[in-house]
Amino acid sequence: MLKSTLVALLLTLLARKSYDPMITNDVSEEYDFIVVGAGASGAVVARGLSDKTGMTVLLLEAGESDYNNPLVPSAIKYGELQQSPYNWNYDVAKQKYSLLEIGKNAKYPGGKILGGSTAINGMNYVRGSPHDYDSWEDHGAKGWNWKDVEPFFRKNENSVDDKMSEKAGRGGLLNISISYENPFTAKLKTAAKEIGIREVDYFDEIEGISRFVCTRYKGLRQSSSEAFLRSGYKERQKSLHIVTNALVSKIHFVTGTSGKQKATGVSFIEDGKIGNVKARKEIILSAGALRTPQILMLSGIGPKNHLEEMEIEVVSDLPGVGANFQDHFGHFVHHAIEDSQFASHTTPESITEYIMNGTGHNSAALGGSVVLHHRTKYFGTNVSLSNKKRPFPSIQALFTSANIPVVFEPTKNHTFHTLLLLAVLHPKSKGEIRLKSTNPTDQPIIDPNYLSEEDDIKMYIEGFRKLEEFEMTKAMKEIGFRLVTPQVCNGSLYTNPPRPDEFYRCYVKSFGYAAHACCTAKIGQEGDEMAVVDERLRVRHVEGLRVADASVMPHVTSSNTQAPCYMIGRKASKMMKQDWNMNE
């Protein structure tokens, strides 16, 4: 039965054409706009600029098409996508204060496919806290406070679930729905009530325990490619050209009439050949927080000392390019449980339910269903530039019902486990991106500098204390919910809570996972030397160049970064239409 259902799923997905009619092989010499990167932000920008505006747009994506890929639509294939060629799997510099994935070479994920990371991620859609965006404005991002950005979230969204908050958007292009509720979800909500944690809808109020919302429709992933590029593409096929397997290597500049350097076009590598294309109006970098600063520096925009060291001609000395790297450095936390029904796992029945109805455990990546956002006593201390102590949450715990192998030492005492991802939402620790070489096919040097600040460790310990409270509730004791403790941290001494700070300090330094890179080309005011773009996302001191992706965030949000990136793309599109007097 299991074999036949899997075969049926693959045949359904492979029934699509083996070529992608949306991809062009005939690139014009010149376009009004060139967009680099087809992730959450880039796809929205490309759609907006080409939709009934009278403008021509070229979208360049370094990865291949997602069209005939059987892995992308299905949540059940999340694990395979993470290990596939459609993930950049960046190398990470050896960390001084922490380790990533003990026993393995550290890797950093990123979507190398049309749709970018939205085509390979866990589909979690969280806007964050309104206080995040008010804090952005504290940092000089004028016009990016919650009141200003909230409408752009709603315009993107199409809630297909009647149970969702009225504050969620309806009528947008991105379908979103509430995650599957399994028996483990119900137990967690009961346990949360025992310890005084409110059940909330995080569209209304983020602090508390909430069901997850996913970029999913009828059980299938809704990537930026599916939602914003494929829908209605025939109406835009003359105004929007899309090229895949096109790695942008450099932005070209000439001296403009104002005396500033003006971006006029890009070079890109496609099938081993170098292509050149011009932009009449602007180039928009949406290649993500890792590749966007790499492209800027390869093009001569970045810290002068580093560019000269790499023997790159300096177009603009912007020390903030590649700096201010921030992330949600998370930890996989395993809990053993006594009853298999509370650690849903892939069975023939669950696979059949998913294939037939698009529902059940396999409709969410790793069975993720519930998330806790909690404000510790250290809230607000993380944003050093802010004069206001904004009350955003500082800890996120994403609970899943996945029964997968323990990342450190498999337990011999329990058959079933659940997995959660614990993350500090607003770390003080900051890293940087630098060039390894002037070869655009080489990965950049990624040094996140995780846990370099003591307050980050303190916030993690507070997060583990909150998980201990769950562990000690009547509801969770009934199912034998207990932390699996790693031996590398003398775990056998600390099988029961409460556990000493020293144990958790060892834990957070020994294991980790990260996926929410941001802030490497941040928005800021003219007087901030580390600001790379202004409030309209224009790269400072040059013309004809903008950045629209996670790079521009002044600091990371209290959320997975997918939803904010969609918002950034929508707001960027609006501003460019205003600046160029285009039809809305």
Write out pLDDT tens, residues 174-190: 999 998 888 889 999 99
Confidence check: pLDDT of 578 > 60? yes
Which residue type does 430 have? Answer: K
Write out pLDDT tens, residues 15-59: 444 689 999 989 999 999 999 999 999 999 999 999 999 999 999
pLDDT of residue 99: 72
Confidence check: pLDDT of 350 > 80? no
Q: How far apart are CA 486 and CA 17, in angstroms?
A: 48
Mean pLDDT, all residues of the chain: 90
Query: Per mean pLDDT, which range of 67-81, 97-111, 243-257 is the poorest?
Result: 97-111
pLDDT of residue 38: 98
Is residue 66 very low, low, confident or very high in pLDDT (cuts 50, 70, 90)? very high
Write out pLDDT tens, residues 180-222: 888 889 999 999 999 999 999 999 999 999 999 999 998 899 9
- What pTM was computed for the model? 0.94
Helices (H) and strands (E) in the chain, counts: 14, 25
Query: What Å distances lie between residue 326 and 62, 144, 330, 522, CA to CA?
Result: 24, 19, 12, 11
Which pair of structure tokens corresponds to residue 486?
Answer: 């790693």
pLDDT of residue 123: 93
| Cα three-residue angle 209-212-217, rounded to 5 degrees | 160
pLDDT of residue 410: 55
Q: How far apart are CA 322 and CA 131, in angstroms?
A: 25
pLDDT of residue 214: 93
Among 7-11, 121-125, 413-417, 536-540, top mean pLDDT goes to 536-540
pLDDT of residue 358: 75
